[in-house]
């Protein structure tokens, strides 16, 4: 019985067409420049690596790892640290130094690093807003795609990390945008998982009436709300989402009716009190804690937070009752319930100018051995990796994990890159700031669309 189920999952995951979407536009213009800078980087690396080849294998090597996972005791950060410790045990001459920052701080510092001298192994995002400029600057080392044929990456998951058919990084997760909810709280109050957006809104009204915050939202950072907007758009435009957004970014014109409607829905929802008071200034931790302390009934976040179900800091009566659903369908929208907002975002890469490039790639490959990131990630409930995880099903998965896996298995299509990551980083900065203004009502929808359009030019 289980075999059959895993096979179905595998098939499901493989057949989901991975629309990388908006990455293509604009690539060709900069291609010739980047090839030049790439070769320059390449030569330097080769010189470096020949110098290293002469050294004996027990030479002391330090690999600097720059990570976006500051919490080393839970979830994904724990998994990363476990692999690092294992690697250092297996290779006593290698020391791996970790610098870990929150996503926002990480991205800021990454760009600062990119100017001159990156750490050896870095977290990256296979999305235009992040990767285009990084690859143009030639700071990442090219990887040999053939090396990874046995690593069982899900079809299409590497696409976001490629440029001109060359591979520069490997994806860590498959991320799905979810509403986490507290099953027990729902049951106790007779609330039901909504099937349509209308139901979601009226559910939020009921929850509010009970004196509880409906949805905890990390609005201070801007990107979760952009993902939320993406999710709404997917339900409105269905599989056309990626197309609409990439056209809008290319033209700097966001007045497409789907985008307008989605923004309006976001504004209405925020206005109706769907999110906690002060959501637009609160950070990730604050929003999540509202939910994990039972102050909010739902929490809008990506599938990587599935590890909440195993987090010892969260009280068991909440931790054990966390479940998830995806954005409900919107009346008149083209998107079906099975068209979900999901993408292969985060991952790792090696710096092109690393002094210990060979060793760094060796470590990278070690992490991606299917029984490392994927297996440990699965066991620690961090959600779905970008590799085939079916071999590691233990039967003792948390309910939440099973649910999320079902969601992906049953997906008819997945969206690809969220809207904020589809343009240059100036666009990303603009939309993540402007979306706060439009959702809290101090900017009109038209001004919002005009402002993010202007940032693309």
Partner 1 sequence: MKEDSIHIGKVILWVVLIAVAVIQLFPLIWLVDFSLGSSNEMFTNGLLIIPEKIRWDNYVKAFVDGNFLHYLRNSVLINTLAVVLVVIISIMAAFACQRMKWKMSALVSTLLVMGMMIPIHATLLPNYKIYNMLHLTDTLWALLIPYVAFSMPQGMSLMTGFIQSLPKELEEAAVMDGCGIYRIVFQIVTPLLKPSIATVAIMTFLNNWNEFMMASTYLSTPTWKTLPFSVLEFTGEYSSNYAVQFAVMALTAAPAVIVYIILNKQITKGVAMGAVKG
Partner 2 sequence: MKKLYSNKPVILSLVLPGLLVFLFAVLAPICLSVYYGFTDYSGMGEARLIGFDNYANLFHDSAFGRSLKNSLLLAIGFICIQHPLAILVAAVLDKLQGKAEGIFRCIYFIPNVISVAVIAYLWKFIYNPDFGLLNNIAKAFGHPGKINWLSQQNAIWSVLIVLIWHGFGWGMLIYYTGIKNIDPVLYEAASIDGANWWTTFMRITLPMMKPVIQINVTMAIISALKQMETVYLLTNGGPNNSTQFVANYLYQQAFKAFKYGYGNAIGVVFIIICVLATVTLNTIFKDKQEA
Binding residues for partner 1 (CB under 8 A): 64, 66, 70-74, 97, 99-102, 105, 109, 112-113, 115-117, 119, 284-285, 288-289, 292-293, 295, 311, 313-315
Instruction: Spell out the residues 6+ positions from residue 173 whose beta carbon is closer than 8 angstroms to its own.
Output: 76, 303, 304, 344, 345, 346, 347, 377, 382, 383, 384, 385, 386
Among 7, 51, 112, 315, binds partner 2 (CB under 8 A): 112
Q: Binding to partner 2 by residue 282, rule CB under 8 A?
A: yes
* CA distances in angstroms from 363 to 65, 210, 443, listed in the order given: 10, 51, 48
Q: Binding to partner 2 by residue 224, rule CB under 8 A?
A: no
H-only helix segments in 54-189: 75-90, 103-115, 128-136, 183-189
Instruction: Spell out the residues 6+ positions from residue 389 whose beta carbon is closer than 8 angstroms to its own.
Output: 374, 375, 377, 378
Q: Binding to partner 2 by residue 35, rule CB under 8 A?
A: no
Distance of CA 60 to the CA centre of its chain: 35
Among 277, 331, 332, 395, binds partner 2 (CB under 8 A): 277
DSSP, residue by residue, 255-279 = --HHHHHHHHHHHHHHHTT-BPTTG
154 to 213, contacts with partner 2 by CB under 8 A?
Answer: 213
Cα(377)–Cα(379) distance, rounded to whole angstroms? 5
Cα(244)–Cα(250) distance, rounded to whole angstroms? 10
In the list partner 1, partner 2, none, the entry touching 97 (Cβ below 5 to 8 angstroms by class) is partner 1
Cα(220)–Cα(222) distance, rounded to whole angstroms? 6
135 or 234: CB nearest partner 2: 135
Minimal distance in Å, beta carbon 204 to partner 2?
16
Distance of CA 372 to the CA centre of its chain: 19
Minimal distance in Å, beta carbon 236 to partner 2?
24
Q: What are phi and psi of 49, to 5 degrees?
A: -70, -30
Q: Binding to partner 2 by residue 440, rule CB under 8 A?
A: yes
Minimal distance in Å, beta carbon 226 to partner 1?
21
In the list partner 2, partner 1, none, the entry touching 66 (Cβ below 5 to 8 angstroms by class) is partner 1
Among 295, 313, 315, 457, binds partner 2 (CB under 8 A): 295
Residue ranges binding partner 2 (CB under 8 A): 33, 37, 104, 107-109, 111-112, 114-115, 133-134, 136-139, 213, 219-220, 222, 276-278, 280-283, 286, 290, 295, 424-426, 428-430, 433-434, 436-437, 440, 442-443
């Amino acid at each position: 019985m289980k075999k059959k189920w895993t096979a179905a999952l595998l098939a499901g995951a493989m057949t989901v067409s991975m629309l990388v979407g908006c990455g293509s536009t604009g690539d060709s213009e900069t291609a010739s420049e980047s090839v030049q800078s790439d070769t320059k980087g390449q030569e330097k690396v080769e010189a470096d690596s020949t110098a290293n080849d002469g050294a004996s294998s027990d030479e002391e090597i330090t690999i600097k790892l720059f990570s976006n996972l500051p919490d080393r005791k839970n979830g994904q950060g724990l998994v990363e640290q476990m692999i690092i410790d294992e690697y250092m045990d297996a290779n006593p001459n290698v020391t791996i130094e970790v610098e870990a920052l929150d996503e926002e701080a990480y991205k800021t510092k990454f760009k600062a690093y990119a100017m001159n001298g990156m750490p050896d192994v870095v977290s990256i995002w296979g999305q235009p807003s992040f990767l285009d400029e990084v690859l143009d600057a030639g700071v990442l080392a090219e990887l040999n795609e053939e090396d990874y044929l046995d690593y069982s990456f899900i079809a299409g998951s590497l696409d976001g990390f490629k440029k001109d058919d060359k591979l520069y990084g490997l994806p860590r997760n498959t991320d799905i945008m979810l509403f986490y909810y507290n099953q027990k709280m729902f049951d106790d109050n007779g609330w039901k998982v909504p099937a349509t957006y209308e139901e979601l809104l009226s559910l939020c009204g009921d929850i509010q009436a009970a004196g509880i915050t409906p949805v905890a939202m990390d609005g201070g950072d801007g990107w979760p709300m952009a993902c939320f907007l993406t999710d709404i758009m997917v339900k409105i435009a269905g599989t056309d989402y990626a197309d609409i957004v990439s056209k809008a970014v290319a033209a700097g014109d966001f007045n497409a009716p789907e985008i307008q409607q989605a923004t309006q829905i976001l504004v209405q929802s925020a206005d109706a009190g769907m999110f906690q008071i002060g959501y637009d200034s609160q950070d990730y931790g604050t929003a999540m804690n509202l939910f994990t302390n039972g102050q909010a009934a739902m929490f809008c976040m990506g599938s990587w937070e599935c590890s909440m179900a195993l987090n010892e800091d969260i009280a068991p009566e909440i931790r054990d009752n966390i479940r998830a659903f995806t954005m409900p369908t919107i009346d008149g929208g083209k998107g079906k319930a099975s068209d979900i907002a999901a993408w292969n975002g985060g991952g790792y890469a090696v710096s092109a100018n690393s002094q210990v490039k060979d060793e760094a790639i060796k470590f990278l490959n070690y992490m991606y051995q299917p029984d490392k990131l994927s297996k440990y990630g699965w066991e620690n409930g961090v959600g779905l990796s970008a590799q085939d995880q079916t071999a590691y099903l233990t039967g003792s998965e948390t309910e939440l994990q099973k649910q999320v896996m079902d969601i992906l298995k049953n997906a008819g299509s997945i969206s690809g890159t969220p809207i904020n990551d589809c343009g240059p980083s100036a666009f990303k900065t603009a939309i993540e700031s402007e979306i706060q203004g439009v959702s809290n009502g101090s900017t009109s929808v038209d001004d919002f669309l005009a402002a993010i359009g202007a940032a693309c030019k």
